[in-house]
A and B are shown apart, each in its own frame.
Chain A
Amino acid sequence: MLANTPEGGFTGYIQHHMKFWNLPHVGEGGFWSWSVHMDSILISLVLGVLFSAWFWMKARKATPGVPGKGQAFVELVLEFVDGQVKDVFHGDRRILGPLALTIFVWVFLMNFMDLLPVDLLPWIAEHSGASHFRAVPTADLNVTFAMSITVLVLVIFYSFKAKGTGGYMKELFTAPFGPWLAPFNILLNIVELLSKPVSLSMRLFGNMYAGEMVFMLIAGLFSAGSWLLYGFGIIGYTAWGIFHILIISIQAFIFMVLTVVYISMAHDHH
């Protein structure tokens, strides 16, 4: 792989891998641009459609009789998610259930891209004309923030819905210190509200970014030029891969549970 990187060298390899397939290409820097990370969009959409199509296929043929193995698996996932939601949220689960399911499966699938050989998707993409390629959408802050901001919108929506506009406004200004400290209250509540999506997305992004980075560092051993290091590379890649199965599952699970917790907190009255 090293030979294919234009910069050359191990540092170049990693730097190359850290760049998105950005279209239309704009200069580095700046907080916002109107370009798009084609790799994140492509992979996340493919996985999203995969999830939807798979579950939809099973849902369409779902029978209350003896389920097939495919249906049983889908039901297993759904009941697991439903159980988690039920533990936290005591209300109508017809929206929150599917929301949690979508988050869990989609985030898991996107995290799972980390377990593919770290050069596989970039190699395919770059031979198909992409300038750069990052295979793990959840290692892109845009993706994790997109989800957590959507969750924030839902939290605010459900706060209004559960408490009414007046009730929610009153809570924002009077909790937790009472009406005399309204400015502090609103400041505190806004910080609390904004901390939710930031912590959600940063946690997921950090874990996946770090995981990807470790895979790249270990992959660097393969081309270090020594058979001993090559052996270490194989052992390290395997060990980190197995450990990473745990991490990607836990991160998907945490994102789901915290989303449910936040939305269920939006229903609670202070």
Chain B
Amino acid sequence: MEFNATLIGEMIAFAILIWFSVQFIWPHINNAIEERQKKIADGLAAAEKARAELKDADARVADEIKKARVQASEIIDKAQQQANQILDKARADAVSEINRQKAMAQEEIASMAERARVELREQVGSLAVKGAEKIVQREIDAGTHKALLDQLAAEI
């Protein structure tokens, strides 16, 4: 074991190195590391937040879509109802129109039949008179036998 001034020199050198590390090396690198750690932590937190927000938005969108679907089906239902109503009304209108037309036609038919019957009756009267004339070969006084002829016409 032989010690000499090297010991003192190395102690001074060691002390200077420690001082240099404390002063110029450690704080800078450590700060950079800690700042980066903070950045990464912030980034992760932001990502987490964004994910939560996205989930929220997804839920909202799904909700909106569901609502829209319900609304659409409501509208379709209403439209169908309306269409049915219109159809029903149209059908009823048509039926009543048909009935009206039918009634009118029947009335006309009835009146025409009446008129034909009247004419026929008159013609039958004169035919009968002509026939009788032919049968009796003489002229029947239309005035005196009118009551008889009318009775005949009514009977036909």
Report whether B3 and A32 are in contact in the complex, using a CB–CB cutoff of 8 Å: yes
Report whether A99 and B21 are in contact in the complex, using a CB–CB cutoff of 8 Å: yes
User: Which of A45, A63, A98, A147 is the one whose CB lies under 8 Å from B21?
Assistant: A98
Interface string of B20-63 (1 = CB under 8 A from A): 11101111111111011001000000000000000000000000
User: Which of A34, A55, A102, A150 is the one whose CB lies under 8 Å from B4?
Assistant: A34
Q: Which residues of A contact B15 (CB under 8 A)?
A: 150
Binds A, one of B6-14, B75-83, B86-94, B98-106: B6-14
Interface string of A58-70 (1 = CB under 8 A from B): 1110111101000
Query: Does B156 have its Cβ within 8 Å of any Cβ on chain A?
Result: no
Report whether A63 and B32 are in contact in the complex, using a CB–CB cutoff of 8 Å: yes
In this complex, how many residues of chain B approach chain A with their Cβ under 8 Å: the count is 32
Report whether A37 and B4 are in contact in the complex, using a CB–CB cutoff of 8 Å: yes
Smallest CB–CB gap between A199 and chain B, Å?
A: 15
Chain A residue with Cβ nearest B39? A64
Smallest CB–CB gap between B20 and chain A, Å?
A: 5
Query: Does B70 have its Cβ within 8 Å of any Cβ on chain A?
Result: no
Query: Does B136 have its Cβ within 8 Å of any Cβ on chain A?
Result: no
Report whether B21 and A36 are in contact in the complex, using a CB–CB cutoff of 8 Å: no
| In the complex with contacts A58-B29, A75-B33, A94-B27, A40-B21 CB distance below 8 A | no
Q: Is the contact region of chain A dominated by helix, strand, or loop, or is it mixed?
A: helix
Smallest CB–CB gap between A148 and chain B, Å?
A: 10
User: Which of B6, B25, B27 is the one whose CB lies under 8 Å from A40?
Assistant: B6
| In the complex with contacts A60-B28, A101-B25, A102-B21, A142-B10 CB distance below 8 A | yes
How many angstroms from the CA of A78 to the CA of B16 in the assembled complex? 19
User: Which of B6, B27, B35 is the one whose CB lies under 8 Å from A143?
Assistant: B6
Chain B residue with Cβ nearest A58? B29
Smallest CB–CB gap between B15 and chain A, Å?
A: 6
Smallest CB–CB gap between B108 and chain A, Å?
A: 103
Interface size class of A (residues with CB under 8 A): 35 or more
How many angstroms from the CA of A94 to the CA of B31 in the assembled complex? 11
Closest 8 CB pairs of A and B: A146-B10, A64-B35, A98-B21, A59-B28, A62-B32, A98-B26, A142-B6, A37-B6
24 intermolecular pairs with C-beta atoms under 8 Å apart: A31-B3, A33-B2, A34-B5, A36-B4, A40-B6, A40-B10, A41-B6, A41-B9, A52-B17, A52-B24, A56-B20, A56-B24, A59-B24, A59-B26, A62-B29, A71-B29, A75-B33, A99-B18, A99-B21, A102-B18, A143-B10, A146-B9, A149-B11, A150-B15
Contacts from A to B (Cβ < 8 Å): 22, 28-37, 40-41, 44-45, 48, 51-52, 55-56, 58-60, 62-65, 67, 71, 74-75, 78-79, 82, 94-95, 97-99, 101-102, 106, 137, 140-143, 145-147, 149-150
